[in-house]
Structure 1
Amino acid sequence: MKGNLKIVVNSYGDPTHLVSLTERLPKPNHKQVRVRVLAAGVGWADIMARRGGYPLASKPPFTPGYDFTGVIDEIGSEVSDFNVGDHVVGLNPNFGCYSEYLCISSDFLVRFPKYLDPAEVCSLCLNYLTAHCMLFKKANIQPGQTILVHSAAGGVGSALVQLANLAGVKVLGTASHQKHDVVRRLGATHIDYQSQDFVEEVHAHFPEGVDAAFDPIGGEHLSRSYKALKRDGVLVSYGFSGKKYGGLFTMASGIAQVALLNMLPSRKKVLFCALPSQVKKDVIWYKEALTSLVKSLDRGRINPIITEIIPLEQASKAHQLLESGSTVGKIVLKCSTFPNEADFDNKGPNAA
């Protein structure tokens, strides 16, 4: 009988703490489908969870991974909106996507055309959906406005830049010097965070400040992003990673910091975006937004950057790459053979 290969964190630590485990195939309950996973996204939350710094993750042993694409191969008795063979993309708000097979409620699934690249579609679900939520649901950004995007060559950052450009928004993006070409090609004006003060650079370009800023770091960095805003501007925090791997104290301090900044008499607003909880709270928005992103990808309006596609059993290599800080865009785990695989080879140039 076929087994299910999955990646498990048995104890906190470096990437070697990701281990392979083969179990029996999972069985969907009456409201679930079973998906043969094609691609699973690798995100910074996975890194923090493996290091023990992500309070939203289960305690070990657990399987990381929020986002995936796959093909439905079994359906629960009460599922009527999907069929065996459907190609689907989804966010699993409970983690667990580093796996060959996954059982999940059909509420979290959206179909995509099978001719689309599963790796590119996978990047929509966490990276682009987070960007979409922050731009349009949180900051209510409008054409002609200005924004500051940190880590503009990263997975969420590059998605923010692309979606903002489509909306007619002017973008300043921070990145290290070696990633400036990527930021420029995406359509943003780059700021070298290693050698330039991004607050000063923002005000040099836009003396009153930007309409919105998006910060994944927290702490003093969040306070400086606040200074880059114009009056009535919006700052959206979407992580408290700090300089390392987060932690309960870092997250609690970050939440308190957001509250304190909102008490200042500046008319600026600070919001927080945690996509998994947002998805569980508003499934209708989630499915509509993700469907819209799939259509944009299908029409060639967005172009996800996939820097590496790595076999599932080499998940530790994917984590090493992401932790190195040298990558751009998205790293994806290949969990099963892609349909029409020859059409989706050589992702490297996509990141160039």
Structure 2
Amino acid sequence: MSKALGYKSFGGSDVQEFFSRPDLTPSPVEVLVQVAAAGVNPADHKLRSGEAPDLNGHLPFPQVLGLEAAGTVLAVGAEVTGLAVGDRVTGFALTGAGTYAETTLLLGAATARIPDALPETWAATIPVAGTTALDVLDQLDLPAGSSVLVNGIGGGVGIAVAQIARDRGLVVTGTAGTAKRDLVTSTGASFVDYTGGDVVERLRALAPEGFDAAVDTVGGPSLHEIAGLAKVLVSVGDQSVTELGGATVERRVDRSGLERVAELMVTGRLDPHITATYPLAQADEALALVESKHATGKVVIDLRL
């Protein structure tokens, strides 16, 4: 049996509960993993709330929270190549299978070995935040010297975008709350406090001719406010961006992306900036912090605590 945090119906945090589930058996395309660490993301509470029925509305309950994890392979599906029992890996879980759990199933084609120098806590941030940042910047494909506005730069995806963009020679400006100033400026990005008055006016003062591109990680009214400030606009989660002439990020859930982000971490070009770590017994608190929108950088559940 494996301890897990999940939900038996859609709703708020009140539907979450810890329970034990039977040991899982990987399908031919999956690997069974002993979870060492799991990343916490806004998508987790959105799936729990039922906001994305196309992704999990058809799945049976209970569903386990979490989409990304790092750990050790316990069993390998017959069609999975390049992975073996005992490997340290990071990867994507099937929606509903979850990663806030002692063991889980990861997609073999979207699971990669972790370099020896990389701790599992860092590796657990790669599948969602790390590869989303990589995908959005690959999609923009901007030349060095281009200017990028990151709307919501202080969260897990935003702070990864800032660093990968810096590594590519891009000039980064980001919006975030006051408490995130030091983190943002530590990446070399210019900081604009969205709580300090007219954000659009202050961004225009910094870039009178606009930005070459904008990456939105917030969505909603904030996305609509900044939409006119950039020549190209990509959102990581708000489909309404297409109504503004922009596009959503084209996600590539594969092993190659995981390996590329891991290399950026190992070589010191990307730090996930883990600012809060919780044991599995407090996974509900970890998710509450992210759901509050006050989390800075990345929040991780460490199952070894």
> d(CA) in 2 for partners of 1:216 and 1:297?
21
> d(CA) in 2 for partners of 1:301 and 1:218?
27
1:230-267 residue CA offsets vs partner (Å, 9 max, x unmatched): xxx21001123xxxxxxxxxxxxxx4x434333xxxxx
> d(CA) in 1 for partners of 2:221 and 2:117?
45
| Offset, 1:180 | 0.9
| Contact in 2 for aligned 1:18/1:315 (Cα 8 Å) | no
> d(CA) in 1 for partners of 2:258 and 2:112?
7
Query: Which residue number in structure 2 is paired with residue 10 of structure 1?
Result: 8
Stretches of structure 1 that go unaligned for 5 or more consecutive residues are 241-254, 263-269, 280-285, 339-352
Q: Does 1:194 align with 2:195?
A: yes
| Contact in 2 for aligned 1:16/1:316 (Cα 8 Å) | no
Give the counterpart letter for 2:263 in structure 1. Answer: K
Identity over the aligned pairs, expressed in percent? 32
TM-score (norm 1): 0.80
Q: Does 1:324 align with 2:300?
A: no
Give the counterpart letter for 1:21 in structure 2. Answer: F
> d(CA) in 1 for partners of 2:292 and 2:29?
40
| Offset, 1:171 | 0.9
Q: Does 1:108 align with 2:110?
A: yes
| Offset, 1:31 | 3.4
Query: Which residue number in structure 2 is paired with residue 243 of structure 1?
Result: none
| Contact in 1 for aligned 2:155/2:297 (Cα 8 Å) | yes
Structure 1 residues 310 and 274: alpha-carbon distance in aligned structure 2, compared to 1, 3 A threshold: farther
Q: RMSD of the alignment, in Å?
A: 1.9
Kindly report which structure 2 residues correspond to 1:34-53, keeping only aligned pairs within 5 A, or say none. 34-53=32-51
> d(CA) in 2 for partners of 1:305 and 1:76?
33
Structure with higher Rg: it is 1
| Offset, 1:274 | 6.0
The SS at the match of 2:6 is: strand
Structure 1 residues 225 and 82: alpha-carbon distance in aligned structure 2, compared to 1, 3 A threshold: same
The SS at the match of 2:85 is: coil
| Contact in 2 for aligned 1:15/1:317 (Cα 8 Å) | no
The number of residues matched between the two structures is 301
Give the counterpart letter for 1:130 in structure 2. Answer: T
1:321-347 residue CA offsets vs partner (Å, 9 max, x unmatched): 112333211111123x38xxxxxxxxx
1:128-157 residue CA offsets vs partner (Å, 9 max, x unmatched): 111111111x21122100011122111111
Give the counterpart letter for 1:297 in structure 2. Answer: M
| Offset, 1:89 | 0.7
Query: Which residue number in structure 2 is paired with residue 334 of structure 1?
Result: 302
Query: Which residue number in structure 2 is paired with residue 272 of structure 1?
Result: 248
TM-score (norm 2): 0.91
1:276-323 residue CA offsets vs partner (Å, 9 max, x unmatched): xx42xxxxxx32222111112112221111111211232211122112
| Contact in 2 for aligned 1:69/1:121 (Cα 8 Å) | yes
Q: Does 1:312 align with 2:295?
A: no
Q: Does 1:71 align with 2:72?
A: yes
Kindly report which structure 2 residues correspond to 1:254-293, keeping only aligned pairs within 5 A, or say none. 255=239, 257-262=240-245, 270-273=246-249, 275=251, 278-279=252-253, 286-293=254-261
Stretches of structure 2 that go unaligned for 5 or more consecutive residues are none
| Offset, 1:28 | 1.7
1:208-247 residue CA offsets vs partner (Å, 9 max, x unmatched): 1001111133343222222111xxx21001123xxxxxxx
